[in-house]
């Protein structure tokens, strides 16, 4: 009897620990407005969902998972799931990104006085000659004997360099997704019968299908050739994306 009770309790514990949990929540702006089309990503599972028009979202997860909230024009937000978030809704507030206004150089305009304006806009001949002479001097190659070591001086031997660790990519998939969507425009995807709230999800689907992007992420640069390659790759994935879930 005790043995049966032990197995029964063990079975209940197994179901409880492996049961699928869902995180519910609502996303608003810093002024309290409900925000739709916010990408919510579970870093552990790579699952992506989009908030609805009321700002609500639901994503599978558990305590300890990290959720990332992303929307163009707003600061990214990372939030770790706590036990309280599993039992009650998670409230998220996104802050709009600060736009840096480039500094504008104010130049003095024409005064109408020929003597003053000629000094402002015409460099003296001596200054122009000096600048030309400096350009010629800087263009000349130095004599290698000038930089050579003197007798008795220590010379650092040349050798192969060494790695100081893994170089971090300048972009991640989220950066690339946002760039592709902004470059191609939403009309490109809606013409492919991809609904607007699913555009981000479709781009991630293309990435997962094998789109090569290591160099793009490494250098943080997507060329026109990369965009054309992405569009060609889309044609190989669009039919499977439209297919029922069981056929993907």
For residue range 130-142, list pLDDT tens digits in order: 777 777 766 666 6
Contact 35, 94 (CB under 8 A): yes
Per-residue pLDDT, 5: 43
Class of domain 15-94: mainly beta
Question: What integer pLDDT is reported at residue 7 of this predicted model?
Answer: 45
What is the pLDDT, as a whole number, of residue 45?
92
Q: Backbone phi, then psi, for 217, in 5-degree steps?
A: -70, -35
Residue-wise burial string across 37-75, b where 16 or more C-beta atoms lie within 10 A, e elsewhere: bbbbbbeeeeebbbbbeebebebebbeebebbbbbeebe
**Residue 181 vs residues 126, 143, 174, 203, 225: alpha-carbon distances, Å:** 54, 53, 11, 8, 16
Q: Considering Cα of 195, then 196, then 200, then 203, what sign does the dihedral take?
A: positive
Residue 162's pLDDT band, with cuts at 50, 70 and 90, is very low
Q: What's the pLDDT score for residue 124?
A: 67
Residue-range domain boundaries for the chain? 15-94, 173-243
Higher pLDDT, 190 or 160: 190
Q: How does pLDDT run across 26-76, given as a tens digit for each residue?
A: 999 999 999 999 999 999 999 999 999 999 999 999 999 999 999 999 999
Mean confidence (pLDDT) of the chain = 79
- pLDDT at residue 113, rounded to an integer: 61
Residue 208 confidence (pLDDT) above 70: yes
Which tokens is 218 given? 């490494």
pLDDT score of 25 more than 50: yes
Q: Is residue 163 pLDDT above 50, yes or no?
A: no
Task: Report the candidate in 71, 123, 66 with the shortest Cα–Cα distance to residue 94.
Answer: 71
Which is more confidently placed, 87 or 246?
87
Does residue 239 or residue 18 have the better pLDDT?
239
Question: What phi, psi does 10 have (nearest 5°)?
Answer: -65, -40
pLDDT at 195 over 60: yes
Residue position matching structure tokens 């028009």 = 53
pLDDT of residue 232: 94
> Given a cut of 90, is residue 161 above it in pLDDT?
no
């Amino acid at each position: 009897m005790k043995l049966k009770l032990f197995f029964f309790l063990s079975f209940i514990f197994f179901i409880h620990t492996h049961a699928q949990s869902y995180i519910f929540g609502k996303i608003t702006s810093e002024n309290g407005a409900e925000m739709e089309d916010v990408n919510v990503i579970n870093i552990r599972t790579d699952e992506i969902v989009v908030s609805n028009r009321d700002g609500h979202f639901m994503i599978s997860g558990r305590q300890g998972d990290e959720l990332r909230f992303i929307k163009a024009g707003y600061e990214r937000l990372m939030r770790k799931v706590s036990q309280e978030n599993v039992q009650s809704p998670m409230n998220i507030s996104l802050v709009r990104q600060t736009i840096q206004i480039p500094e504008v150089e104010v130049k003095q305009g024409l005064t109408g006085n020929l003597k003053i304006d000629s000094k402002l806009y015409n460099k003296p001949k001596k200054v122009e000659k000096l600048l030309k002479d400096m350009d010629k001097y800087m263009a000349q190659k130095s004599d290698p004997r000038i930089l050579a070591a003197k007798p008795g001086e220590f010379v650092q031997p040349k050798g192969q360099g060494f790695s100081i660790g893994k170089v971090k990519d300048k972009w991640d998939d989220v950066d690339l997704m946002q760039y592709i969507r902004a470059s191609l425009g939403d009309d490109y995807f809606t013409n492919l019968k991809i609904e607007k709230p699913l555009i981000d999800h479709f781009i991630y689907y293309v990435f997962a299908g094998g789109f090569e992007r290591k160099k793009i992420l490494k250098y943080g640069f997507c060329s026109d050739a990369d965009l054309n390659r992405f569009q060609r790759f889309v044609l190989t994935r669009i039919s499977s994306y439209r297919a029922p879930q069981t056929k993907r």
